[in-house]
Amino acid sequence: MKAKSVLWLWLLLFSGVAWSLDASLSQYKLGSGDVIKITVFGQEDLSLTTKLPNHGVINYPFLGDISVIGLTGAEFEAKLYAGLKGDYLVEPSVSVTVIEYRPFFIDGEVKRPGGYPYQPGLSVNKAAALAGGFTERASKTKIFIRRENDSGQQEQLSAQSTDVVLPGDIVTVQQSFF
């Protein structure tokens, strides 16, 4: 009976972590460098895969130039749905999926600073591991993440090794004095 309780506890814990990760990615805002796939069910000529450019505008069949940067996948789906419904399709079924997230960057006291492909569930520790690990001089308490906020402004956040890293983030690991 005790083993069953432990199993349920692990299952609840895991599902809570997975739910919070899904919740944060569902609010993920598209940015330049993301590769997205647009699928319109039954309309192959309206389905495409594209990398979002720096200016954030893509040219979509029938609708022309559409600004994508800063929208969530669901918001972009709604925009496409509204544009296609009526004049072009009766009831379009539109799906937008992020195929490849824009990279994150890590610099400072890591062995191989640079840009790396984003992976869902990435923490500061995991980001440092991708960069070859912390150097001997790395401070585990002086870590900063530079991130774009909802208004498009860069903000600097103090971070711990377990904090979440998002696509486009710049992680800086500073030097320890001891």
pLDDT at 89: 87
Structure confidence at residue 177 (pLDDT): 79
Q: 95 and 115 share a domain?
A: no
**pLDDT average, residue stretch 73-100:** 92
Domain ends where: 81, 101, 121?
Answer: 101
Residues 91, 37 share a domain: yes
Q: Which domain holds residue 152?
A: 104-175
5 backbone dihedrals φ, ψ, rounded to 5°: -65, -40
Q: Residue 149 in 3-state DSSP?
A: coil
Of 101, 118, 137, the residue at which a domain comes to its end is 101
Instruction: Indicate whether 66 and 30 sit together in one domain.
Output: yes
Residue 43 sits in the same domain as residue 119: no
pLDDT at residue 1 is higher than 90: no
Consecutive H or E run containing 2: helix 2-26
Both tokens of residue 128?
Answer: 């440092």
Give the end of a domain, one of 44, 79, 101: 101
Same domain, 73 and 142: no
Task: Please say whether the beta carbons of 102 and 167 come within 8 A.
Answer: yes
User: For residue range 106-122, what is the model confidence (pLDDT) as tens digits?
Assistant: 999 999 999 999 988 99
pLDDT at 25 > cutoff 70: no
Read off the pLDDT of residues 45-71 as tens digits, 9 standing for 90 and up.
Answer: 999 999 999 998 999 998 999 999 989
**153 and 110 fall within a common domain:** yes
Same domain, 10 and 69: yes
Instruction: Tell me what pLDDT residue 97 has.
Output: 94
Q: Tell me what pLDDT residue 10 has.
A: 41
Q: Say whether both 61 and 5 belong to one domain.
A: yes
Cα–Cα distance for residue pair 64/103, rounded to 1 Å: 28
- Rounded Cα distance, 53 and 16, in Å: 35
Provide the number of structural domains found in the chain: 2
Local structure of 34: helix, strand or coil: coil
The verdict on 96 and 108 lying in the same domain is: no
pLDDT at 131 over 90: yes
- Tell me: do 87 and 4 sit in the same domain: yes
Give the predicted TM-score (pTM) of the model: 0.74
Residues 82, 153 within the same domain = no
Alpha helices in 30-175 (DSSP H): 73-84, 124-130
For residue 155, what is the domain's CATH number? 3.10.560.10
